[in-house]
Amino acid sequence: MGEQKLYMIRAEISRARLFQLGKQLGYPLERIDTGYLVHTALRLALGEHAPQPFSVRPGRGPSMVVLGYARRDSRALLDVARAVAEPVAYAAVSPETLLSKPLPNAWSEGQKLAFEVRFCPIVRKAKAGEHHAAGAEVDVFIDRCWKMGEGVAVDREEIYRNWLRERFDRSGAAEIDEVQLTQFKLERLSRRDTGNGRKWSFRDRPDATVTGTLRVRSPATFDEFLARGVGRHRAFGFGMILLRSVVQC
């Protein structure tokens, strides 16, 4: 049997319920990032079927909007939520607001699409170095600066654009035609280890958003590429490739 169809999911997340959930779980709410809280709410409400990757968008009033990719439509996800969701998580996700749309049945080779993606451009260092420990996550811009040495000018936007192009090229599913950096900041990300101590860590990571145009290279794997997303921290609000429009060639 082939893989299930891919859907874009839209949900409204109640800010008040989201923080109520975090408080109930004992999270350090004064330090935790929104992406981690949304990840928690989606997982507790929808289990393994929760949309991933996802993107948090500004909403109106007391809610934020979450867009994501999933292999089940909104009705199937609602059935999952009714069966397994923890009540506060169920309320936070506002199940009555769940909407879905199927992605196209087929893409065309060479099809040109406008896109936007928020991503975390980091590299994990396998070995310890002068500036970092083994296993450290390093901003690819900082990593390039270290390699180039003092006094050498390095263009942050160019580094990020090239890093993203490489991820698209490696996928074999799509290639980037044009791309522009539209936003950059350092985001403090919250993570919890999986050991017995379950200790929290808080680290600043690069947070970049770009817009551009891409071309579909492999229609057979393009859905899989969208469902996987790009870069690290894809389960926490990074890496969702949002398609904006079809571009006339």
pLDDT tens, residue by residue, 99-131: 999 999 889 999 999 999 999 999 988 787 777
Name the nearest CA neighbour of 68 among 244, 232, 247, 241.
Answer: 241
Say how many C-beta atoms besides its own lie within 10 A of residue 205's C-beta.
19
What does the pLDDT read at residue 196? Answer: 60
* DSSP-derived secondary structure letter, 53: S
Q: How confident is the model at residue 147 (pLDDT cuts 50, 70, 90)?
A: confident
What does the pLDDT read at residue 228? Answer: 97
Q: Is 146 exposed, middle or buried (0-12, 13-18, 19+ CB in 10 A)?
A: middle
How do residues 29-87 score in pLDDT, each as one tens digit? 999 999 999 999 999 999 999 999 999 998 778 889 999 999 999 999 999 999 999 89
Q: How confident is the model at residue 249 (pLDDT cuts 50, 70, 90)?
A: low
What does the pLDDT read at residue 148? Answer: 87
Name the nearest CA neighbour of 30 among 202, 245, 247.
Answer: 202
E-strand ranges in 38-173 read 54-57, 63-70, 99-102, 112-119, 122-124, 137-139
Q: Give the burial string for 81-118 (b: 16+ CB within 10 Å, else e).
A: beeebbebbbbbbbbeebebeebeeebeeebebbbebb
Complete domains list, the chain, with CATH? 7-102 (no CATH), 112-246 (3.30.70.1210)
Structure tokens at 12: 């409204």
Whether the per-residue pLDDT at 246 is higher than 70: the answer is: yes
What does the pLDDT read at residue 1? Answer: 39
Give me the mean pLDDT over the 188-195 stretch: 83
Q: Indicate the pTM of the whole model.
A: 0.91
What does the pLDDT read at residue 178? Answer: 95
- Strand, helix or coil for residue 73: coil
Q: Is 208 exposed, middle or buried (0-12, 13-18, 19+ CB in 10 A)?
A: buried
Asked whether 37 and 45 are in contact (CB, 8 A), the reply is no
Asked whether 224 and 4 are in contact (CB, 8 A), the reply is no
